[in-house]
Chain A
Amino acid sequence: IMSQLFLGGKASSGKLNSWVEPSFGDLFGSSGLNSLPLAKAPLSGGNKSRAQPSGVDVGGKKPRKRKGALQAAKPVFPPRRQDSQEPQDEPWVQVYAPQLQAELAVHKKKVEEVEKWLRVHLDLNHGGAVLLLTGPSGCGKTATVHVLARDLGCQIQEWSNPVTTSEYRTDDSFRQTFDPDSRFNSFHWTSQTGAFQEFLLRANKYDRLPMRGDGQAQDRKLILVEDFPNQFYRQPGCLHDTLRRFARTGRRPLVFVVSDSLSGDSSSRLLFPKEVQEELGIRTISSPSHGASWYATLSASCEMTRCCRAVVVVFSDPEKAVLEQLCAGSSGDIRSAINSLQFSSFAEHSLEKGAWASKKGKSAASAARVPARPKGGNRSTRSAEVLDDSPAIGGKDTSLFLFRALGKILYCKREAYEGCEVPKLPSHLSVHQRDRMIVDPEVITHKQTCRSHMSGEFFSLYLHQNYPDFFSDMDDVARASEYLSDADFLTAEWSSRPTMSEYGSSVATRGLIYSNSARAQATSQSHVGFKPLHKPHWLHINKTYRENYLAAQSLFISFCLTPVSLMTELVPYLAQLSNPMRNQAQIAFIQDVGHLSLRRFPGRLKLEALGDKEPGGLDLDGESDDAGTQTTGQGTRTLPSSSQEPGADFPSSQPQPTTADALLDEEDILIEEYDSD
């Protein structure tokens, strides 16, 4: 019941039916032609918009975008139609939301794909089809659905989580006063999950009541779910059951919109695991981000200028540099970019330049530099810059992808000291002379631990997996490995680990950088070329070790041996004896563990490439395993992830040179899939 009906179609202001308009346009009490007889008298604007559960929300003629950052701050004003005088009261995100497909900032092919799907499944009786749209926040998932729905002339019925339970209570008490004899309404409460199921049921079964002035009959409807009841995050099984039921009985297409996040806790993976997707035939379309933060500027600023052309006309044209900086700061999130644009011009739009004055020098400089640089060449310095001066307004944390963080440490770029300031070491120490580092290792590890929730030890594991490729001299490797050993030693004690882990990763990173004497001078930094990075094996190995260990002990307990002699003496010799074992499990174990293939280089370990966009998910599994011997040293975090499993989860487990290429690749694959359906 707490759904918001959107008028999808051509609900231009002229066609607005009479009962809608008063509820938004007029003052509250004046002509309360409310269709709901039960609705109580509204107290204030803010309450009102919430307390009208099934009101038709036509915020102007735009579909309302929820989650708009600014919007949340200003529900106090009753929404006004935009063609009335003051457009700045309304978030620009809504005011200038895309109306046509051409205006969508999403890649054209993606839009086509969604449109195709909708066309096929919008016909009635086609069965409950489910579409899952994923992508980073603010890339235009919801906007796509809205625009397409409008084009296809269907309504959107949207689920939103009920805000509080108090709503129900007031509602109930209200009903009680109306109907005191009713015994059923004494106290009515449903769980969010229940409410969600009911919503699906109703949205599925019943058409909207035909309204006066509604234009053509709208028998086409799609159900949109962006919010999930919290319960589903705890028990995704509930959702799956609901979905299964829906798949059997559904008549309407159901669209889920799920945002990805950079830090790896992708809710889409939690809510819609692969098996369920296959089982229910859920179609997944993921829109890629508008380029990651470091070279988003150009494309995103195009999007932005297009989106905001009206704005730009109305107000003084914001400088290009400002726009660029906003785009860079938003890391491809259009919504936040527009919001910050509005905010920046909102404060004092005549003094806009003043507000940017402090930033101007820097931003102008960077703007001047941007076009001059080839995209690939000096990315690292540039991104370091972007990372350092985060935009003043609306800047998002530009989180460093693991791939790049590792690269920074392993390639360890240096720059020569300028002329006089060279601090010279005496000649007998000159082997230790190093040029200045461009990056600060602590900054990188800090970014990793704080933003990507990756522990320092785990980061060191990644470094350890990959460092030998970057070294050429054996002495250097020995020194580097010693530093890594030191780092592990520092963080070994679980009780002091929280304090020491920073030092540990500092020792590991700085040690690695220092040891690489081939890259000690800026001038001598030979071109290493691209080296693929790999995921660490250790966690997997350690897990296998422990599993085998336990298995051995439980299988061969009757031999009463200590584990060491069991593993080094009994099992290997049993493998050589043709001793009939007691059970199948023992035989299998001996075959597996007792024998070592004596081929020179075993092929058991597959190197797993680390993708350039991977968040380097927190490997809780492995980590906690690892901490198993250390009692409860860690394990408070509960982010699910599975980077240990072969890259199946990550659509981009291969290094991807540029986003543009990635986009094309991915599209090709997806379209093939579609044809085969």
Chain B
Amino acid sequence: MSLWVDKYRPTSLAKLDYHKDQANQLRNLVQCGDFPHLLVYGPSGAGKKTRIMCVLRELYGAGVEKLRIEHQSVTAPSKKKIEINTIASNYHLEVNPGDAGNSDRVVIQELIKTVAQSQQIQSSTQREFKVVLLTEVDRLTKDAQHALRRTMEKYMATCRLVLCCNSTSKVIAPIRSRCLAVRVPLPSVEEVCSVLTGVCRKEGLLLPPELAKQIAEKSGRNLRRALLMCEACRVQQYPFSADQDIPETDWEVYLRETANAIVSQQSPQRLMEVRTRLYELLTHCIPPEIIIKGLVTELLGNCDGHLKAEVAQMAAYYEHRLQLGSKAIYHLEAFVAKFMAIYKKFMEDGLDNFMF
């Protein structure tokens, strides 16, 4: 039994549930024969990957769905061996170069070279190029992105790249200009609701529209999350009731409790407790950026107008530090400490004003 997310994932461009205009355009693109490099971007859970897989299927037929997981090892010039997992079919290769860390340049070059060097068999009936799908391109180092630029041109004859990322701001301009950029926006609440209802119908369940709306809103229009939430609701209680609690993930609850702990008391001891909690989140693989973002969202709810601006600015400052620094805990903790100091002062001032 697979998850609903995977089970009801549309497999062809025609079956996509939303952004149908875009789907049509993509189909035309495939049919006109010359296929450019693609840069697909958009927020998480909008269906970028689904769309890409549909395009590939349009290109090559059902053969792309026969996936195999491969462990490749690439030797860097410094004799360092890099192990990387790839997912491949006969026609395409999917890599997350972020796995390779700082050696991503070597990995990308090697993998693309290997793919591009082998010609497609029976090129008369098939496309004469293969596709390399790179996910999380925005996490590539600058070094690797520049290397990619050259590689893209060099192997244009036998290989097309599909790049997938959340935001193009971290992709260098030369790459952006070499690709056809396709933005996949988030589905609207209504679209999410219709997808949820559709999936439930296929499962033989009845989803009250109120609940669907609630889920769609709570998921932030992230369709993957919405479907997972919906399935969790199903596990929690069936038949659905319109006002049932939508299960949250443990880490979100935990993060909220942490934020409450910060707001309820400001002292060095509390800071130590918060640190322990931050560590706990980190051991559960919640990335520091997500933690700081979650904290800010929760904390802002507790702040007054002018404090909000200050807190947001602080958060931006430390998030920046987080990106540049090497040890996340320093910056997370500095943010928490700073917030505590500001908030304490704010509360004390407020108390004074209240007294007089």
A544-578 residues at the B interface, CB under 8 angstroms:
544-545, 548-549, 552-554, 557-560, 562-565, 567-578
User: In this assembly, does B96 line the interface, its C-beta being within 8 Å of a C-beta of chain A?
Assistant: yes
The 8 closest A-B pairs by CB, nearest first: A572-B249, A478-B341, A596-B250, A485-B334, A573-B228, A468-B268, A481-B334, A481-B337
What residues on B are CB-neighbors of A558 within 8 Å?
67, 69
Q: Check A579–B290 contact: CB distance below 8 A.
A: no
Determine if A55 is an interface residue (Cβ-Cβ < 8 Å): no
Residues of B within 8 Å of A557, CB to CB, are 69, 85, 87
A559 to B345, CA, bound (A): 47
> Does the CB pair A630–B326 fall under 8 Å?
yes
The verdict on B325 contacting chain A, using a C-beta distance below 8 Å, is yes
- B254 near A596: Cβ-Cβ < 8 Å: yes
Map CB proximity to A onto B193-220 as digits: 1 under 8 Å, 0 otherwise. 0000000000000000000000000000
Q: Which residues of B contact A577 (CB under 8 A)?
A: 3, 228, 231-232, 235
Cβ contacts under 8 Å, B35 to chain A:
none
Does the CB pair B283–A481 fall under 8 Å?
no
CA of A461 to CA of B325, assembled, Å: 14
Chain A interface: which of B22-30, B154-162, B269-277?
B269-277
| Cβ contacts under 8 Å, A564 to chain B | 44, 287, 290
* Among candidates A492, A595, A598, residue contacting B257 with C-beta atoms closer than 8 Å: A598
Assign chain B's interface to a size class.
35 or more
The yes or no answer to A604 lying at the interface (CB within 8 A) is: yes
B1-42 CB mask vs A (1 if < 8 Å, else 0) is 101001000000000000000000000000000000000000
A558 to B101, CA, bound (A): 21
Q: Interface code A576-589, partner B: CB below 8 Å = 1, 0 otherwise?
A: 11111000000000
In contact, B334 and A482 (Cβ under 8 angstroms): yes
Contacts A/B (CB < 8 Å), 24 sampled: A464-B329, A469-B272, A474-B337, A477-B268, A477-B337, A477-B341, A478-B337, A485-B321, A485-B331, A537-B279, A541-B283, A545-B282, A548-B285, A558-B67, A562-B44, A564-B44, A564-B287, A567-B287, A568-B287, A569-B228, A571-B285, A579-B1, A601-B277, A631-B102
Closest residue to B327 on the A side, CB-wise?
Answer: A488
Within 8 A of A (CB), among B25-81: 44-45, 49, 67, 69, 78
Chain B residues within CB distance 8 Å of chain A = 1, 3, 6, 44-45, 49, 67, 69, 78, 85, 87, 94, 96, 98-99, 101-103, 135-136, 222, 224-225, 228-229, 231-232, 235-236, 247, 249-254, 257, 266-269, 271-273, 275-277, 279-287, 290, 318, 321, 324-327, 329-331, 333-334, 336-338, 340-342, 344-345
* Across-interface contacts of A593 in B (CB, < 8 A): 284-285
Residues of A within 8 A of B324 (CB): 489, 492
Task: Assess the B94–A482 pair: CB atoms within 8 A.
Answer: no
Q: Which residue of A lies closest to B326 (CB)?
A: A492
Residues in A with CB closer than 8 Å to B327 are 457, 461, 488, 538, 542, 626
Q: Are A565 and B45 in contact (CB under 8 A)?
A: yes
Q: Is A234 an interface residue (CB 8 A)?
A: no
Interface contact B325-A489, CB-CB below 8 Å: yes
| A569 to B69 alpha-carbon distance, docked (Å) | 22
Instruction: A478-B338, A548-B284, A569-B249 are known; give 20 further A-B pairs, CB within 8 A.
Output: A468-B271, A469-B268, A474-B267, A474-B341, A480-B337, A484-B333, A488-B325, A489-B321, A489-B324, A542-B282, A558-B69, A560-B94, A562-B136, A568-B287, A569-B222, A576-B249, A579-B1, A601-B273, A602-B277, A629-B326
Q: B residues within 8 A CB of A482?
A: 334, 337-338
Within the assembled complex, what's the spacing in Å between the Cα atoms of A478 and B266? Answer: 11
Say yes or no: A471-B326 contact (C-beta < 8 A), given A541-B283, A573-B231. no
Which size bracket describes the interface of A in this complex?
35 or more
With A468-B272, A596-B254: A553-B44 Cβ-Cβ less than 8 Å: no
Q: Are A576 and B235 in contact (CB under 8 A)?
A: yes
Chain B residues near A469 (CB-CB < 8 A): 268, 272
Closest chain-A Cβ to B158's Cβ sits at a distance in Å of 24
Chain A residues with CB under 8 Å of B345's CB are 475
Residues on the B chain within 8 Å of A552, using CB: 285
Cα separation A570 to B49 with both chains bound (whole Å): 15
Q: Are B250 and A572 in contact (CB under 8 A)?
A: yes
| A472 CB contact (under 8 Å) in B96, B249, B268 | B268
Given A548-B284, A593-B284, A604-B283, residue A565 in contact with residue B44 (CB < 8 A): yes
Which of A474, A488, A572 is within 8 Å of B330, CB to CB? A488
How far is A387 from B155 in the complex, measured between Cα atoms in Å? 66
Q: How far is the CA of A568 from the CA of B252 in the complex (A)?
A: 9
A628 within 8 A of B: yes
Most buried by A among B6, B87, B338: B338
Q: Is A605 an interface residue (CB 8 A)?
A: yes
**Contact (Cβ within 8 A) A579 B285:** no
Residues in A whose Cβ lies below 8 Å from that of B254: 596, 598
Cα distance, A477 to B324, chains bound together (Å)? 22
| B residues near A629, Cβ cutoff 8 Å | 101-102, 326
Question: What's the minimum C-beta distance from B256 to chain A, rounded to whole angstroms?
Answer: 10
How many Å from the CB of B308 to the closest CB on chain A? 18
Separation of A414 and B213 alpha carbons in the complex (Å):
63
- List residues of A (598-645) whose CB comes within 8 Å of B's CBs: 598, 600-602, 604-605, 626, 628-632
| Inter-chain contact B235/A545, CB cutoff 8 Å | no
Residues of chain B within 8 A of A487, CB atoms compared? 330
Q: Which residues of A contact B268 (CB under 8 A)?
A: 468-469, 471-472, 474, 477
Contacts A468-B271, A472-B268 given; indicate if A567 touches B325 (C-beta within 8 A).
no
B282 contacts which chain A residues (CB < 8 A)?
541-542, 544-545
Q: Is the CB of A481 within 8 A of B338?
A: yes
Q: Decide if the interface of chain A is mainly helix, strand, loop or mixed.
A: helix
Q: A605 and B228: CB pair below 8 A? A: no
**CA A594 to CA B257, docked complex, whole Å:** 17
Residue of A nearest to B133 (CB): A560
Complex alpha-carbon distance, A564 and B103, angstroms = 20
Contact with B along A68-98 (1 / 0, CB 8 A): 0000000000000000000000000000000
Judge whether B272 and A549 touch: CB under 8 Å.
Answer: no
Taking the complex as formed, is A491 at the interface, i.e. its CB lies under 8 A from any CB of chain B? Answer: yes
Assess the A598–B253 pair: CB atoms within 8 A.
yes
Contact yes or no, A601 B276, CB < 8 A? yes
A163 to B236, CA, bound (A): 76
Chain A nearest CB, measured from B249 CB (Å): 3
A595–B235 CA distance with the chains assembled, in angstroms: 16
Contacts of B333 in A (CB 8 A): 464, 481, 484-485
Shortest Cβ gap from B40 to chain A (Å): 13
Chain B residues with Cβ under 8 A from A541's Cβ? 279, 282-283, 329
Cα A598 to Cα B284 in complex, Å, equals: 13
Which residues of the partner chain B approach A601 to less than 8 Å between Cβ atoms?
273, 276-277
B318 cross-chain contacts in A, Cβ below 8 A: 485
Chain B residue, CB-CB nearest to A466: B272
A593: nearest residue on chain B (CB-CB)? B284
Residues in A with CB closer than 8 Å to B338 are 478, 481-482
Taken together as a complex, chains A and B put the C-alpha atoms of A549 and B96 apart, in Å, by: 14
Given contacts A468-B268, A575-B250, contact A491 B326 (CB under 8 A): yes
Q: Which of A489, A548, A549, A601 has the most CB of B within 10 A?
A: A489
Q: Which residue of B lies closest to A461 (CB)?
A: B327
B159 to chain A, nearest CB (A): 20
Query: In the complex, which residues of chain B have a beta carbon less than 8 angstroms from the beta carbon of A578?
Result: 235
Asked if B49 contacts A560 (CB within 8 A), the reply is yes
Q: Which chain A positions have C-beta within 8 A of B290?
A: 564, 568
Instruction: State the CA gap A630–B327 with chains docked (Å).
Output: 12
What is the bound-complex CA distance between A40 and B96, given in angstroms?
71
Closest to A596 in B: B250
The reply to whether A562 and B253 contact each other, CB–CB distance below 8 Å, is no
- CB contact under 8 A between A596 and B232, given known A568-B249, A579-B1: no
Contact pick for A474, options B236, B266, B275, CB 8 Å: B266
Which chain B positions have C-beta within 8 A of A631? 101-103
A491: B residues at CB distance < 8 A:
326
Write out the residue numbers on chain B whose beta carbons fall within 8 Å of the beta carbon of A574: 3
